[in-house]
Amino acid sequence: MQKWIMSGLFFAACAFAIVLMFALPGKEEVAEEQKPAMPAVQLDAAAAEEVVKATCISCHGDQLQGGMGPSLQQAGAEHDAEAIYSIVTKGRGQMPSFKEQLAPEEIANVAMWLAEKK
Ligand code: HEC
């Protein structure tokens, strides 16, 4: 009887693992599709610096050298403006989302400013 239960559990775990294998990449695709669209703005470096000073340096360091969050001194080498826009809008890992705090245009401006840092 117990053996029967164990093999039943094993089978269920395998089935679950197989379902996960197919389900997980699917979820990533959905996340890609829901990437927020970045509004087109004219880069205003002074405004970007102001937003970053007020909002980002507590975690990323006053010279963007990194702190609780990674260094952003070369953010543009890794991410383009749209990718940074998406990270700041939606948050990622330990980084909070800023869509309640900043206007999309402000985030886009900061993203373009950071994307030039390579
Ligand atoms: C509460 C702390 C915190 C604040 C405030 C914060 N960040 Fe972050 N940020 C993080 C952490 C932690 C990560 C790493 C996220 C991860 O592990 O995926 C990160 C990652 C990033 C990345 C990706 C870096 C990389 O190398 O992949 C960018 C770009 C970024 N932040 C930009 C910003 C901007 C712009 C602001 C201000 C609007 C900001 N962050 C404010 C904590 C923060």
Residue 39, in any domain of the structure: no
In terms of domains, do 54 and 100 share one? Answer: yes
Residue 75 lies in a domain: yes
Do 56 and 104 fall within a single domain? yes
Segment 92-101, tens digit of pLDDT = 999 999 999 9
From residue 105, how far is each of 7, 50, 86, 94, 97 by CA, in Å?
Answer: 57, 14, 13, 23, 15
pTM for this model (two decimals)? 0.79
CATH number at residue 78: 1.10.760.10
The reply to whether 14 sits in an annotated binding site is no
Which residue range is the domain that position 110 belongs to? 45-115
Q: Do 27 and 67 reside in the same domain of the chain?
A: no
Per the model's pLDDT, the better-predicted residue between 17 and 112 turns out to be 112
Q: Which pLDDT tens digit goes with each residue over 4-16?
A: 777 877 777 767 6
Q: Which of 56, 65, 78, 105 to mutate to test the pocket of ligand 1 (most atoms within 8 A of CB)?
A: 56
Condensed to tens digits (0 to 9), the pLDDT of residues 37-50 reads 999 999 999 999 99
Let me know whether 92 and 56 are in one domain: yes
Domain assignment present for 92:
yes
